Structure 1
Amino acid sequence: MMESKQKRIGIKKFWLLFLLSGLIMLFTVCGMTAEDTVNELHHEESKQNTAHDSDGIVVEVLVESDVNSASDLEVEINARKNPESVYWDTIEVPYQERFVIPKDTFIPLISTHVRAKADDSASWISCSIKYDGELVASHKSRGSDAKAVCEKKFQLGPG
């Protein structure tokens, strides 16, 4: 009886060792290690944090010209909470600024308005507005006393 009990324990140990060996070979063949699992977990965690951090509308404003300066810059971000505005007499171009508007209200972003005047020696000036990386408004003006004006307004319904 004692011998049969020892045989069963030996068989159980053999199967356990066989199962663990099989799992190790499977992970090795698949190229998966404990470090890979940890890296995948960190990657998923950082993706969730990024999604949480960008819980707003990203507004990007860009002003460009064929010379290195422009004047009379106006940027107005009309948001329900925390509206923002920028006014400069002169700027270096390309001028680029990024604003993040929280999405915690109904219709959080009402409008965005950008205006800039070309330098006297410039032949053109342009502006553009992007919402979350998508171009929503742009304008290019040429000639003397050129002004670039971009505006995007929220509108319900077709338009």
Structure 2
Amino acid sequence: MKKHNRIFPAKRTFLIGTISLFVLFLLSACGFSGVPQSASPDSADPAQPTTVADTAASDAIRVEVLVESDGDSAANFKAEIDARKNPQSASYDTIELPYRETFEVSKDAFIPLPSVRLQADAADDAEWISCKIFYDGEEVATHMSRGDGAQAICEKKFHLGPG
């Protein structure tokens, strides 16, 4: 009598589900949305004109950093954009507030932006200082510090899983 290796139905369902989720994750990481995009300009929405800037914007993540305070300046400013393809940074002894700077990060890498870190020290005459990090206009990190020697530190790290 020939013995068959059979996977029990519950285990088979779990295995198929796990494989399906893995494939879905890989496709989403590659930018597959499931909706085909036509290359024809005739199919574009006439209310939304397509420009070269729109196309370029879709190929990059726009990272914006913002520092604010009740003082006119901040010291020891440092921003680190840890991009896979093109890491960027900015460092200044003193900045005038409010301070805003924008960085462009290419999306053509797996996990293109592992982390962004920003810090600045409040001026001696300031009571508070705050910082914010935005990805494509959406706030992803914020911090406010008060008192003597106040320092704002914002950090956004990419991680898989909840939270």
TM-score under structure 2 length normalisation: 0.69
**How much has 1:47 moved relative to structure 2?**
2.0
Give a deviation string over 1:26-71, Cα, whole Å, max 9, x none. Answer: xxxxxxxxxxxxxx97x75x42423311021110000001011000
Structure exhibiting the larger radius of gyration computed from Cα positions: 1
Q: After the TM superposition, which segments of 4 or more aligned residues of structure 1 sit over 6 Å from their partners?
A: none
Please name the residue that 2:61 is paired with. Answer: 57
Q: Report deviation, 1:157.
A: 1.0
Question: What is the aligned-residue RMSD (CA, Å)?
Answer: 1.5
Name the residue aligned to 1:99. Answer: 103
In structure 1, runs of 5+ residues without a counterpart are 1-39
**Partners of 2:116 and 2:52 in 1: CA distance:** 28
Identify which of 54, 69, 73 aligns with 1:69. Answer: 73
- Equivalent-residue separation in structure 1 for 2:112 and 2:104 (angstroms): 11
- CA distance, structure 1, for counterparts of residue 93 and residue 53 of structure 2: 36
How far the C-alpha of 1:101 sits from its partner, in A, is 0.4
Identity of aligned residues (%): 55
Instruction: Name the structure where helix makes up a greater proportion of residues.
Output: 1
**Aligned residue identity for 1:63:** V
With normalisation by structure 1, the TM-score equals 0.70
Tell me, which stretches of 5 or more residues in structure 2 are unaligned?
Answer: 1-44
